[in-house]
Amino acid sequence: MKNLLKIALFTTLFLITAAQMEANQVSEQTWQTNMTFYDYLVANNIAPLILAELDDETYGELKTIGDKTQFYEHRDAETGVLLHALIPIREEQQISLYRIAPNDEEIYAAQNFPRAYSLAAEEPKKETPQENAKKYKIEIVPIKYMIVNETLHTRIQNSIQVDLREITGNNKLSTELSAIYDTRVDFRRDVQRNDSIAAIYDRKIRLGRTWGAILVHSAFLELRKNRIYAFYRQEDEAYYDDIGNTLLSMFIERPIEYARVTSGYMPGGRMHPIYGYERPHLGVDFAAPTGTPVYSVGDGTVRFAGCQKSCDQGYGKVVVVEHRNGWETRYAHLNGFSKISGGSRVKQGQLIGYVGSSGVTTGSHVHFEVRKGGGPTNPLSLRNVRKDGLKNEEKVAFLKKARDLKATIDYVALKNSNGVTRLSATFHNEMKKRATQN
């Protein structure tokens, strides 16, 4: 009987929610620059006392909302009162701030989204901050989305970025393909009109829109009838061509994003801006505001993180990372470090510190050095250093899989002359049948 009552309660809730959605408003908003979660609560007449109920981990997550983050609000159409806000903090997680249904803990436990409850029946009254805070709850919840498997094939008429944006409606696929082919193809210089590109990929859809990153399973870029293939290998989350060579560089080109070079690699010497005489400049300086994240350009081990002499001399605060095959990278004049120390293992793209102006410097920047076998080398040539390809049994197993992937992507290009097609179970069954015949 108790279960029947619960089913009846949830059914009633669903019917009420569906009917009241028409009376409420869901809108997409943008998180304002430098706005805190405390500010957001105050702006929506929610007592910040609610924050005192959170554990340290949840409270810390509230500080990770990025500026300009797109999020959803659900408000009562008549009163404008916030009923529910969903604010992404990562691709898989979001902050859920919602108004608890009055006088009904069973409904609250149902955890439906969106929690659309009419406020019309509530009589306005003066309430204490404690009472106000009890009307809302904050949780970190998974982001719900669906995944669709799609194919694309097109001949380039303008540029890969422009043409793919026109076809897909956003830049996500072109951005992903550009990253995959980064060390093989310069999309701006190498690609010509009537070259073609094809891809089989997974796309996430959240609330009717593309969400998060695209996962490309296989692709080819055809330049003047020459096809460069890219196949995803899940074991190491890397891309390889049809003969088992990696498409990834051993290093990313820069340790910080969107920074300008203020002083290049000059082993023959340059006039030092502080000392006033010529001396070699064995790295590249990237100017950026203090606090800008600095990332390791490759996998390796931190050999040193600290001040080599004193923090107001020489390199100031510096990180030195050792990589395979005798490579070493240095990141100097930092403002501080991430959670690393000597002996820490770091991955390519991992945060290691923050831009600053420690040591002898004229302003905020990172001095980036690269050494090979103990000797300096030009940091801007790193993109040409490739990771090792597959070997032995791994290569044999991959080449067997790559043969089928190649046949599939070629078939996609043959059948899909231009545009995007969503793949069905029928397509996959047909490809399995073709593979068996071959």
Backbone φ, ψ for residue 189 (5° rounding): -105, -35
User: What pLDDT sits at residue 413?
Assistant: 85
Element (H, E) at 13: helix 2-21
DSSP-assigned beta bridge partners for residue 220: 198, 229
**Whose CA is closest to 248, among 179, 326, 190, 294?**
179
The CA distance from 150 to 177, in Å, is 14
Q: Which residue has the higher pLDDT, 97 or 314?
A: 97
Cβ neighbours of residue 137 under 8 Å, at least 6 residues apart?
50, 97, 98, 100, 108
Mean pLDDT of the chain, nearest integer: 82
- Whose CA is closest to 324, among 375, 235, 388? 388
Q: In this model, does residue 434 exceed pLDDT 60?
A: no
Percent of the chain with pLDDT over 70: 81
Write a three-state SS string for 268-333.
EEEECCCCCCEEEECEEEEECCCCCEEECCCCEEEEEEEECCCCCCCCCEEEEEECHHHEEEEEEE
Domains for the chain: give ranges and CATH numbers.
Answer: 2-142 (no CATH), 146-248+390-437 (3.10.450.350), 260-382 (2.70.70.10)
3-state secondary structure of 150: strand
**pLDDT at 22 > cutoff 50:** no
Q: pLDDT by residue (tens digit) across 40-82?
A: 999 999 989 899 889 988 998 998 898 889 999 999 888 889 9
**pLDDT tier at 87 (50, 70, 90 boundaries)?**
very high
Res 341: pLDDT: 85
Q: For residue range 230-254, what is the model confidence (pLDDT) as tens digits? A: 999 988 888 999 988 888 778 888 8
Are the CB atoms for 148 and 214 separated by under 8 Å? no
Extended strands (E) in 114-251: 136-142, 146-155, 196-206, 209-223, 226-233, 238-240
- CA-to-CA distance for 37 and 124, rounded, in angstroms? 26
- pLDDT higher than threshold 70 for residue 175: yes
| pLDDT tens per residue, range 301-320 | 999 999 877 777 788 999 99
Distance CA 49, CA 132 (A): 9
- Distance between CA atoms of residues 50 and 59, nearest Å: 11
Digit-coded pLDDT (tens) for 335-389? 999 988 888 899 888 999 999 989 888 889 999 999 988 889 998 887 767 666 7
Determine the pLDDT at residue 51.
Answer: 93
At 278-287, the pLDDT tens digits run: 778 889 999 9
Amino acid 227: pLDDT: 93
Quick: pLDDT tens for 196-235.
Answer: 999 999 999 988 888 888 999 999 999 988 999 999 998 8
Q: Would you place residue 91 in the very low, low, confident or very high pLDDT band (cuts 50, 70, 90)?
A: confident
Average pLDDT over residues 264-288: 78
Look at residue 165 and tell me whether its pLDDT is greater than 50: yes
pLDDT band at residue 12 under the 50/70/90 scheme: very low
The residue that leads in pLDDT, 124 or 399, is: 399
Percentage of residues in the chain with pLDDT exceeding 90? Answer: 39
To the question of pTM greater than 0.95 for the whole model, the response is no
Tens digit of each residue's pLDDT (9 = 90 or more) over 121-149: 444 556 676 777 788 999 999 999 999 99
